[in-house]
Amino acid sequence: MRKVQARTCVRAWTAASLFALCVSLRGGSAVAETAVQASQLDAGKVIHILYLAGDDPKASFLSLLQNQPDDEGEAGASLALDEVNLTGRFIGLHYTLDVVHLHGHSDLAAQTRPLLSTSKLIVAALTAPDLLTIASMPEAVDAVILDIGSSDDRLRQEQCRRNVFHLLPSIAMRSDALAQYLMKKRWARWLVLRGPSAEDQAWADDLHRSAARFGGKIVEDRLYSYDAGSRRVDTGYQQIQTQLPLATANAPSHDIVIVADTADFFGDYLPYNTTEPRPVAGTQGLVPVAWHPAFQEYSALQMQHRFELAAHRTMNERDYAGWLAIRAIGEASIRSGKTETADLGAFMRSKAFELAGFKGQAMTFRPWDQQLRQPVLLASALMVVSLSPQEGYLHPKFLTDTLGFDEPETKCHLTP
């Protein structure tokens, strides 16, 4: 009887130096030490996964309680790698994960090209422009790229690519998830306050779309461009108490303030500072997310425990997307028995593919834009308030297709 050779390796590379660091992961290795039946070890089949992390500045937040972990996304992927290897050892499959941190944004294709010669199975924690650059390379035509970094609608619409699958909900899905809940609450009159960036504008555009779809009324769409200068300043409260009531004053009657501030310049200052006593939702306040560390339904509590044991912190939606991406690869290979990238992509597109992600239902990719169908959580800082789609929003095929761009309205036509 052999011992399992399952020292799970995550090689951390930088594209410039190709410096390799091999780390033995906890969890999977502890199990692997135990002697297992030889029949389980008829290995040989290895699936190499490439994880591309973009070179982006860390997000900054108004609250000291919020921060972007250095291993965001990666931590979820690492945990899932342990898991698929644990399952894989029963059927002779092994998975490796090479994590590569890209440098800058100018020569991404040059940095990525040599990597694509070893693996075309890619988990991409990239911004939308970087993702498009890489997905459009000729060498990536037959790649399977699992997007865990972007919620940009354009990647699911005009700019969609057959080699890209999206794990996170699009902004349109998030906006629809929020809108359904607000209509359920009969909070139909929305005051939209948006920041100056193109991303903020995109969010606000989706709010208009959701209002039209579900019967909400945007009483005013207001641009808020005040630059608070240095954030978290010691004179902050006085300024905030002056500025934010002004920003929300003299608006038509509204039930809720919906904020579109993707960079968190002012959104987190809004609750309790609005002129009218109104709740706040959108990019801050009640937020639509794929995952939340307080989510515990549908065995999610188990996932939270497992992640915290492995990563020593709570799980955010990027970690969840990283976890989903690796589990999608695991599911596709274990169910199909195949290991070639093209075959795994074909299986993910097929009706046989189902991904369990602690949301009480099997999740699948929409064939027209390869967006993962999924319920969206509506959460405050500490609590999950609701889960959309809301009851009563019907769809002939999938209730989750009431969120985002459905087949009849899509501008992306990848359906074979």
Partner 1 sequence: MPFDAMITRLALKPLALSACLALSALSANASQIFVSNERDNTVTVLDSATLALVKTITVGTRPRGIVISPDGREVLVCNGDSDNISVIDASTLEVSRTIDSGPDPETLALSPKGDVIYVSNENDSMVTLLDRGAGTVLARVPVGIEPEGLAVSADNKTVVDVSESTSMAHFIDVATRAVIANVLVDTRPRVAEYSRDGHDVWVTSEVGGTVAVIDASSHQVAHKIAFDIPGVRQELISPVGLRFSLDGRLAFVALGRANRVAVIETATFKVVKYLLVGDRVWQLALSPDGRTLYATNGLTNDLSVIDVVDLKTIRSVPVGRLPWGLVIKP
CB of residue 354 to partner 1, shortest distance in Å: 5
The one segment of 87-95, 99-107, 209-217, 269-277 that binds partner 1 by CB under 8 A: 87-95
Is 91 an interacting residue with respect to partner 1 (CB under 8 A)?
Answer: yes
Smallest distance, partner 1 to C-beta of residue 86, A: 6
Distances in Å between the Cα of 368 and the Cα atoms of 1, 160, 166, 411 are: 48, 9, 12, 9
Q: Which of 9, 12, 29, 31 binds partner 1 (CB under 8 A)?
A: 31
Which of residues 309, 342, 383, 385 is near partner 1 by CB under 8 A?
309
Confirm or reject binding of residue 232 to partner 1 (CB under 8 A).
no
Q: Which residue has the tokens 């006593």?
A: 277
- Per CB under 8 A, which of residues 387..406 are in contact with partner 1? 398-399
Q: Smallest distance from the beta carbon of 131 to partner 1, in angstroms?
A: 28
Cβ-contact 151, 174 below 8 angstroms: yes
229 versus 396: smaller Cβ distance to partner 1: 396
Among 87, 127, 197, 380, binds partner 1 (CB under 8 A): 87
| Sequence-ordered list of residues with C-beta below 8 angstroms from that of 234, at least 6 positions apart, any chain | none
Q: How far is residue 110's CA from residue 103's CA, in Å, rounded to a whole number?
A: 11
The torsion angle over the Cα atoms of residues 210, 211, 215 and 217, rounded to 10 degrees, is 170
Question: Stretches 86-94, 107-115, 124-132, 253-261: which one binds partner 1 (CB under 8 A)?
Answer: 86-94
Candidates 79-87, 193-201, 208-216, 243-251 — which segment interacts with partner 1 by CB under 8 A?
A: 79-87
The only residue of 101, 113, 231, 306 in contact with partner 1, by rule CB under 8 A: 306
Cα separation, 225 vs 75, in Å, equals: 35
Evaluated on CA atoms 392, 398, 404, 406, the torsion sign reads: negative
Helices (H), 92-192: 108-116, 128-135, 171-184
Asked if residue 319 binds partner 1 (CB under 8 A), the reply is no
Q: Which of 365, 369, 181, 194 is nearest to 270 (CA)?
A: 194
Q: Does 415 bind partner 1 (CB under 8 A)?
A: no
Among 23, 30, 46, 246, binds partner 1 (CB under 8 A): 30
Q: Which pairs count as long-range contacts for 208-214, CB under 8 Å and 24+ apart, including other chains? A: 209/172, 209/175, 210/172, 210/175, 210/176, 210/178, 210/179, 211/179, 213/176, 213/179, 214/176, 214/179, 214/180, 214/183, 214/393
Tell me if 299 contacts partner 1 by CB under 8 A: yes
Give the footprint of partner 1 on this chain (CB under 8 A): 27, 30-31, 34, 36-37, 40, 83, 86-87, 90-91, 299, 302, 305-306, 309, 331, 334-335, 354-356, 360-362, 398-399
